[in-house]
Amino acid sequence: MNPTEILRAVTRTLVDHAEELTTLDQAIGDGDHGLNMRRGARAIEAKLADLEGKTLAQALKATGMACMASIGGSAGPVFGTLLVTLARDLPPQPGADDLARGLAAGIAAVTKLGKAQVGDKTLLDVLDPVQKTLAAGGVDMVARVRECALQACAATADMQAIRGRSSYLGERALGHVDPGARSSALIICALCDTLRP
Protein backbone atom coordinates (compact mmCIF):
# COMPACT_ATOMS: atom_id res chain seq x y z
CA MET A 1 0.00 0.00 0.00
CA ASN A 2 1.69 3.17 -1.26
CA PRO A 3 0.15 6.17 0.54
CA THR A 4 1.25 8.76 -2.02
CA GLU A 5 -0.11 6.67 -4.89
CA ILE A 6 -3.44 6.39 -3.09
CA LEU A 7 -3.56 10.10 -2.28
CA ARG A 8 -2.67 11.02 -5.86
CA ALA A 9 -5.57 8.91 -7.14
CA VAL A 10 -7.97 10.40 -4.58
CA THR A 11 -7.01 14.01 -5.26
CA ARG A 12 -7.21 13.52 -9.02
CA THR A 13 -10.69 12.02 -8.62
CA LEU A 14 -11.89 14.94 -6.51
CA VAL A 15 -10.52 17.48 -8.99
CA ASP A 16 -12.13 15.62 -11.90
CA HIS A 17 -15.52 15.53 -10.12
CA ALA A 18 -15.49 19.07 -8.70
CA GLU A 19 -18.22 20.29 -11.06
CA GLU A 20 -20.44 17.32 -10.27
CA LEU A 21 -20.04 17.95 -6.54
CA THR A 22 -20.79 21.64 -7.01
CA THR A 23 -23.94 20.83 -8.97
CA LEU A 24 -25.12 18.48 -6.23
CA ASP A 25 -24.47 21.14 -3.61
CA GLN A 26 -26.23 23.84 -5.62
CA ALA A 27 -29.38 21.75 -5.43
CA ILE A 28 -29.49 21.36 -1.64
CA GLY A 29 -26.58 23.26 -0.05
CA ASP A 30 -24.36 26.31 -0.37
CA GLY A 31 -23.16 25.38 -3.86
CA ASP A 32 -19.48 25.43 -2.96
CA HIS A 33 -18.72 21.83 -1.98
CA GLY A 34 -17.01 20.92 -5.24
CA LEU A 35 -14.88 24.05 -5.19
CA ASN A 36 -13.91 23.42 -1.59
CA MET A 37 -13.00 19.79 -2.21
CA ARG A 38 -10.96 20.75 -5.26
CA ARG A 39 -9.11 23.36 -3.20
CA GLY A 40 -8.33 20.73 -0.58
CA ALA A 41 -7.23 18.23 -3.22
CA ARG A 42 -4.84 20.78 -4.72
CA ALA A 43 -3.41 21.52 -1.27
CA ILE A 44 -2.81 17.80 -0.71
CA GLU A 45 -1.24 17.40 -4.15
CA ALA A 46 1.24 20.14 -3.25
CA LYS A 47 2.38 18.06 -0.25
CA LEU A 48 2.71 14.68 -1.99
CA ALA A 49 6.46 14.95 -2.54
CA ASP A 50 6.94 15.49 1.20
CA LEU A 51 4.89 12.37 1.96
CA GLU A 52 7.05 9.96 -0.05
CA GLY A 53 8.27 7.19 2.22
CA LYS A 54 5.78 8.02 4.99
CA THR A 55 3.52 5.41 6.55
CA LEU A 56 -0.19 5.49 5.77
CA ALA A 57 -0.86 6.87 9.25
CA GLN A 58 1.65 9.69 8.78
CA ALA A 59 0.26 10.51 5.34
CA LEU A 60 -3.35 10.51 6.53
CA LYS A 61 -2.53 12.78 9.46
CA ALA A 62 -0.77 15.27 7.17
CA THR A 63 -3.67 15.07 4.73
CA GLY A 64 -6.18 15.69 7.49
CA MET A 65 -4.28 18.76 8.62
CA ALA A 66 -4.19 20.01 5.02
CA CYS A 67 -7.96 19.55 4.80
CA MET A 68 -8.53 21.60 7.93
CA ALA A 69 -6.29 24.37 6.62
CA SER A 70 -7.54 24.56 3.05
CA ILE A 71 -11.14 23.32 2.68
CA GLY A 72 -13.79 25.91 3.36
CA GLY A 73 -17.14 25.43 5.06
CA SER A 74 -17.91 22.45 7.24
CA ALA A 75 -16.10 19.99 4.95
CA GLY A 76 -12.64 21.06 6.12
CA PRO A 77 -13.13 20.25 9.81
CA VAL A 78 -15.21 17.16 9.00
CA PHE A 79 -12.81 15.50 6.56
CA GLY A 80 -9.80 16.72 8.52
CA THR A 81 -11.10 15.29 11.79
CA LEU A 82 -12.01 12.03 10.07
CA LEU A 83 -8.53 11.53 8.59
CA VAL A 84 -6.54 12.61 11.64
CA THR A 85 -8.60 10.33 13.88
CA LEU A 86 -8.41 7.43 11.42
CA ALA A 87 -4.62 7.78 11.35
CA ARG A 88 -4.16 7.91 15.11
CA ASP A 89 -3.71 4.21 15.90
CA LEU A 90 -2.94 2.69 12.50
CA PRO A 91 0.07 0.35 12.45
CA PRO A 92 2.72 0.80 9.72
CA GLN A 93 1.14 -1.95 7.57
CA PRO A 94 -2.59 -1.81 8.37
CA GLY A 95 -5.02 -4.55 7.41
CA ALA A 96 -8.78 -4.41 6.96
CA ASP A 97 -9.36 -4.86 10.71
CA ASP A 98 -7.08 -1.93 11.52
CA LEU A 99 -8.80 0.26 8.94
CA ALA A 100 -12.21 -0.75 10.28
CA ARG A 101 -11.21 0.22 13.82
CA GLY A 102 -9.67 3.48 12.64
CA LEU A 103 -12.71 4.34 10.56
CA ALA A 104 -15.00 3.59 13.51
CA ALA A 105 -12.99 6.05 15.61
CA GLY A 106 -13.16 8.61 12.80
CA ILE A 107 -16.92 8.20 12.49
CA ALA A 108 -17.30 8.71 16.25
CA ALA A 109 -15.19 11.88 16.09
CA VAL A 110 -17.16 13.29 13.14
CA THR A 111 -20.45 12.42 14.87
CA LYS A 112 -19.34 14.32 17.95
CA LEU A 113 -18.11 17.26 15.88
CA GLY A 114 -21.20 17.74 13.72
CA LYS A 115 -23.88 16.20 15.96
CA ALA A 116 -25.09 14.21 12.93
CA GLN A 117 -26.17 10.58 13.03
CA VAL A 118 -26.41 7.83 10.46
CA GLY A 119 -29.64 8.43 8.53
CA ASP A 120 -29.34 12.23 8.61
CA LYS A 121 -28.29 12.43 4.91
CA THR A 122 -24.59 13.11 5.40
CA LEU A 123 -21.25 11.46 4.63
CA LEU A 124 -21.87 9.22 7.66
CA ASP A 125 -24.41 7.35 5.56
CA VAL A 126 -21.54 6.17 3.36
CA LEU A 127 -18.83 5.82 6.00
CA ASP A 128 -20.89 3.71 8.41
CA PRO A 129 -21.82 0.88 6.00
CA VAL A 130 -18.29 0.90 4.57
CA GLN A 131 -16.91 0.52 8.09
CA LYS A 132 -19.24 -2.37 8.75
CA THR A 133 -18.21 -4.03 5.50
CA LEU A 134 -14.54 -3.72 6.45
CA ALA A 135 -15.20 -5.05 9.93
CA ALA A 136 -17.09 -8.07 8.58
CA GLY A 137 -14.07 -9.19 6.53
CA GLY A 138 -14.34 -11.94 3.94
CA VAL A 139 -13.36 -12.40 0.32
CA ASP A 140 -13.41 -9.75 -2.43
CA MET A 141 -13.13 -7.05 0.24
CA VAL A 142 -12.00 -4.26 -2.08
CA ALA A 143 -14.82 -4.87 -4.58
CA ARG A 144 -17.42 -5.14 -1.81
CA VAL A 145 -16.27 -1.93 -0.12
CA ARG A 146 -16.39 -0.09 -3.44
CA GLU A 147 -19.90 -1.32 -4.23
CA CYS A 148 -21.06 -0.58 -0.69
CA ALA A 149 -19.86 3.03 -0.97
CA LEU A 150 -21.67 3.58 -4.27
CA GLN A 151 -24.93 2.01 -3.09
CA ALA A 152 -24.88 3.88 0.22
CA CYS A 153 -24.24 7.17 -1.57
CA ALA A 154 -27.13 6.61 -3.98
CA ALA A 155 -29.41 5.81 -1.03
CA THR A 156 -28.96 9.31 0.41
CA ALA A 157 -31.24 10.60 -2.35
CA ASP A 158 -34.15 8.93 -0.54
CA MET A 159 -33.27 10.40 2.86
CA GLN A 160 -34.68 13.53 4.43
CA ALA A 161 -31.87 15.85 5.53
CA ILE A 162 -31.62 16.43 9.28
CA ARG A 163 -28.33 18.36 9.46
CA GLY A 164 -26.69 21.06 7.39
CA ARG A 165 -28.08 23.55 4.90
CA SER A 166 -30.14 20.90 3.11
CA SER A 167 -32.17 20.31 6.29
CA TYR A 168 -33.88 23.68 5.70
CA LEU A 169 -35.37 22.34 2.47
CA GLY A 170 -37.39 19.59 4.13
CA GLU A 171 -38.90 17.27 1.56
CA ARG A 172 -37.44 19.32 -1.31
CA ALA A 173 -34.07 17.71 -0.53
CA LEU A 174 -35.52 14.32 -1.41
CA GLY A 175 -34.31 12.99 -4.75
CA HIS A 176 -30.91 14.64 -4.37
CA VAL A 177 -27.74 12.78 -3.38
CA ASP A 178 -25.87 14.36 -0.47
CA PRO A 179 -22.67 16.06 -1.74
CA GLY A 180 -20.60 14.95 1.27
CA ALA A 181 -21.76 11.39 0.78
CA ARG A 182 -20.80 11.61 -2.89
CA SER A 183 -17.35 12.99 -2.00
CA SER A 184 -16.87 10.14 0.45
CA ALA A 185 -17.92 7.56 -2.12
CA LEU A 186 -15.56 9.05 -4.71
CA ILE A 187 -12.68 8.93 -2.23
CA ILE A 188 -13.41 5.33 -1.27
CA CYS A 189 -13.78 4.24 -4.91
CA ALA A 190 -10.49 5.88 -5.86
CA LEU A 191 -8.78 4.13 -2.96
CA CYS A 192 -10.31 0.79 -3.95
CA ASP A 193 -9.33 1.23 -7.60
CA THR A 194 -5.76 1.87 -6.51
CA LEU A 195 -5.71 -1.31 -4.39
CA ARG A 196 -7.24 -3.61 -7.00
CA PRO A 197 -4.81 -6.29 -8.21
Contact predicate 147/99, CB 8 Å: no
For residue 97, give the amino acid letter: D
CATH number for domain 3-195, candidates 3.40.50.2000, 3.30.565.10, 3.40.640.10, 1.25.40.340: 1.25.40.340
Domain ranges, ordered by start, for the chain: 3-195
Residue 32 has pLDDT above 50, yes or no: yes
Residue 172 has pLDDT above 80, yes or no: no
For residue 66, give the amino acid letter: A
- Quote the CA–CA distance of 148 and 132 in Å, as a whole number: 10
What residues contact residue 92 under an 8 Å CB cut-off, 6+ apart? 55, 56, 57
Q: State the average pLDDT over residues 180-190.
A: 97
- Quote the CA–CA distance of 62 and 85 in Å, as a whole number: 11
Residue 58 has pLDDT above 80, yes or no: yes
Average pLDDT value over all residues in the chain = 92
- Quote the CA–CA distance of 18 and 41 in Å, as a whole number: 10
- Quote the CA–CA distance of 66 and 189 in Å, as a whole number: 21
Contact predicate 147/116, CB 8 Å: no
Note the pLDDT tens digit of each residue in 92-138: 999 999 999 999 999 999 999 988 899 999 999 999 999 999 999 99
Percent of the chain with pLDDT over 70: 93
**Phi and psi, residue 40, nearest 5°:** -65, -40
Residue 160 binned pLDDT confidence (cut-offs 50, 70, 90): confident
Residue 167 confidence (pLDDT): 56
Residue 163 confidence (pLDDT): 61
Residue 72 confidence (pLDDT): 80
pTM for the whole structure: 0.93
Contact predicate 118/152, CB 8 Å: no
Residue 28 confidence (pLDDT): 78
Residue 170 has pLDDT above 70, yes or no: no
Contact predicate 174/157, CB 8 Å: yes
- Quote the CA–CA distance of 132 and 146 in Å, as a whole number: 13
